[in-house]
């Protein structure tokens, strides 16, 4: 069994936060959104007080993003940041509970994706922990022909998965637990891409591995480690590579689909340079959307730290 350093995202338990969200979800369903917010901040204050690592990670991120865009600082900023996270969690629960108005969601850049569906061509879709990525999965229930396989490592968040499953069992049906890619998994994904399906994988979390394969790219003024798995996967599967970013706008969301590469070719010589370039382009787009919505990026761990390196900034 792989033992993870405490700074790795997969070593962070979400069970206590989920317990509070169960209460808040009930408040929202019975009394509405504003009473939910009134009850929310005492819960958040308790969570921030008792989770120093998450608090420090939030402050660190907000300090970095404030060099590019206005963002709140100090404890107030952390509370606002966690408040946005709680709102996104609530929206996920409302989505899977059938209580979220999907007319409040705008899909931008969807036409190329629709053409792929018409041509029965699959693609790798790189998502992030910005906004509400579950909007893409719920969309797959409404768009004819759109089938997703979402690669996840969510055993650290089993309590939250169980809660979503209680709202809608379909929330768990297209998830594929993957810690490391092996030939059997690659073959299965290749078959799905060949049938015109989409493989969804996160591009802003380091793999669960004692020696993760990453590329360093500038992100909010400092080099940060980004996984190369999505780009290697697109190269193996010989398919287009898209990105998805979602951000909250008013009462609804904007979901942006953007082409990262029509194809990824990794030569034997210069392979690392190509991976670094693709990761850098992804990091630049993620930075763009973080600057537009500073409180919407939800990675509450030391993102600029590689777990197996004894230094704060990966370099």
235 versus 312: the higher-pLDDT residue is 235
Say which residues have a Cβ less than 8 Å from residue 271's Cβ, sequence separation at least 6.
none
Q: Is the C-alpha dihedral spanning 75, 80, 83, 85 positive or negative?
A: negative
Question: What band does 314 get if pLDDT is binned at 50, 70 and 90?
Answer: very low
Say how far apart CA 8 and CA 151 lie, in whole Å: 18
Alpha helix stretches (DSSP H) within the chain? 15-31, 33-50, 52-65, 74-96, 111-118, 134-139, 158-167, 183-194, 229-237, 271-292
Which among 82, 100, 104, 80 has a CA at the least distance from the CA of 91?
Answer: 100
Query: Token digits for 66?
Result: 């404030």
- Please state, rounded to an integer, the average pLDDT across all residues of the chain: 82
66 versus 16: the higher-pLDDT residue is 66
Position 102 scores a pLDDT of 82
Query: Token digits for 150?
Result: 């979402």
Say how far apart CA 256 and CA 269 lie, in whole Å: 34
pLDDT digits (tens, 9 = 90+) for 135-186: 777 666 666 777 888 887 655 456 556 655 565 556 555 777 776 667 788 8
208 neighbors 8 (Cβ within 8 angstroms)? yes
252, exposed or middle or buried, with CB in 10 Å at 0-12, 13-18, 19+?
middle
Position 2 scores a pLDDT of 34
Least confident of 19-23, 63-67, 91-95, 131-135: 19-23
Does 16 score more than 80 pLDDT? no
86 neighbors 24 (Cβ within 8 angstroms)? yes
Least confident of 5-19, 221-235, 261-275, 285-299: 5-19
Say how far apart CA 289 and CA 65 lie, in whole Å: 11
pLDDT digits (tens, 9 = 90+) for 246-279: 999 988 899 999 999 999 999 988 899 999 999 9
Position 286 scores a pLDDT of 98
pLDDT digits (tens, 9 = 90+) for 19-49: 667 777 788 888 888 888 888 888 888 888 8
Position 104 scores a pLDDT of 87
Say how far apart CA 71 and CA 266 lie, in whole Å: 39
Least confident of 8-12, 78-82, 178-182: 8-12
- Grouping H, G, I as helix, E, B as strand and the rest as coil, residue 108 is strand
Question: Which pTM was predicted?
Answer: 0.85
Question: What band does 212 get if pLDDT is binned at 50, 70 and 90?
Answer: confident
Does 1 score more than 90 pLDDT? no
Say how far apart CA 111 and CA 108 lie, in whole Å: 8
Say which residues have a Cβ less than 8 Å from residue 263's Cβ, sequence separation at least 6.
234, 238, 239, 240, 241
208 versus 176: the higher-pLDDT residue is 176
């Amino acid at each position: 069994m792989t033992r993870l350093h405490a700074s790795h995202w997969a070593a962070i338990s979400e069970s206590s936060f989920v317990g509070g969200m169960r209460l808040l979800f009930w408040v929202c369903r019975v009394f509405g959104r504003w009473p939910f917010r009134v009850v929310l901040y005492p819960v958040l204050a308790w969570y921030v007080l008792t989770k120093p690592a998450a608090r420090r990670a939030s402050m660190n991120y907000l300090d970095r993003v404030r060099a590019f865009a206005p963002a709140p600082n100090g404890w107030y900023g952390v509370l606002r940041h966690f408040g946005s996270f709680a709102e996104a969690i609530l929206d996920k629960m409302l989505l899977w509970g059938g209580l979220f108005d999907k007319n409040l969601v705008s899909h931008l850049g969807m036409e190329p994706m629709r053409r792929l569906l018409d041509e029965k061509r699959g693609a790798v879709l790189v998502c992030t922990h910005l906004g509400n990525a579950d909007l893409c999965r719920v969309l797959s229930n409404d768009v004819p022909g759109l089938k997703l396989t979402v690669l996840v490592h969510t055993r650290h968040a089993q309590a939250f998965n169980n809660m979503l499953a209680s709202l809608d069992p379909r929330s768990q049906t297209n998830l594929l637990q993957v810690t490391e890619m092996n030939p059997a998994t690659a073959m299965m994904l290749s078959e799905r891409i060949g049938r015109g399906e989409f493989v969804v994988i996160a591009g802003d979390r380091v793999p669960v591995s004692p020696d993760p394969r990453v590329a360093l790219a500038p992100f909010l003024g400092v080099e940060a480690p980004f996984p190369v798995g999505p780009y290697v996967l697109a190269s193996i599967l010989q398919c287009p590579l898209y990105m998805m970013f979602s951000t909250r706008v008013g009462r609804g969301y904007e979901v942006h689909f953007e082409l990262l590469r029509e194809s990824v070719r990794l030569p034997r010589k210069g392979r690392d340079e190509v991976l670094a370039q693709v990761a850098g382009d992804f990091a630049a787009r993620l930075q763009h959307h973080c600057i537009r919505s500073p409180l919407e990026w939800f990675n509450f761990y030391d993102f600029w730290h590689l777990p197996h390196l004894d230094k704060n900034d990966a370099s």
